[in-house]
Amino acid sequence: MAMDEALLQWAAARAHPTLRFYGWSEPAATFGYAQKYADVEKMTPLRPLVRRPTGGGLVPHDRDWTYSLVFPAGHYWHRLKAGESYQRVHRWISAALAELRVPTALAAQSQKEIPGQCFAGAEKDDVLWQGRKIAGAAQRRTGRGLLIQGSLQPPAGLRREDWEAAMREVGAKEFSVAWEEMKITGELASLAAELRANRYSQHHYNEKR
């Protein structure tokens, strides 16, 4: 969470979009910035519980694949309405899964959900596989850029490295992206470490409401 927020804060300075794939060293769960901790802690036994810098509901991270996208202010993704960027990123994921011969569809309308739980039911334009939601996302727009944080609950048999490669392939084909590996060093790494130490690892932040 700290690195994603650091990338958002640095988006304008970097001037280039960033796609970040990351995982979890232990089972955990994240929850939306505006959610109440007292409500969230009753929804899952997973710990730690970490407040995201984006909105949305509770997301378990015990078997999912997580990613983030950051676009600087002025980029056309940043200028999209929230619903448009939500649909666009899920079309990207759906196309990547199609490359791996996993047929999916975007939800045409919201399905019955359990309030506050991201993967119980589905919202419009979530990614569905065999009628079940397998990918959702949350967003945050600021004057510096757009942050999208997403989670994929992969169907059995998929390999993460294949999905990541398919995401890059579709990005190059559909959005003319020329990929370049990013090194997290210097002031960006320091900012992420500061956010982790002073915010995301602190009970007073995660339980502040």
- Confidence band for 110, pLDDT divided at 50, 70 and 90: confident
Continuous segment of H or E residues that includes residue 61: strand 59-61
What is this structure's pTM? 0.95
Q: Does domain 2-196 have CATH number 3.30.930.10?
A: yes
In the chain, domain spans:
2-196
- Among residues 200, 173, 195, 172, the alpha carbon closest in space to that of 184 is found at 195
The pLDDT assigned to 14 comes to: 86
Confidence check: pLDDT of 112 > 90: no
User: What integer is the mean pLDDT of 153-158?
Assistant: 96
The DSSP letter of residue 125 is T
- Confidence band for 113, pLDDT divided at 50, 70 and 90: low
Q: Which amino acid is at 206?
A: N
The pLDDT assigned to 111 comes to: 79
| C-alpha distances in Å from residue 133, one per residue of 107, 113, 122, 153 | 8, 11, 6, 8
- pLDDT tens for residues 192-209? 999 999 999 999 999 998
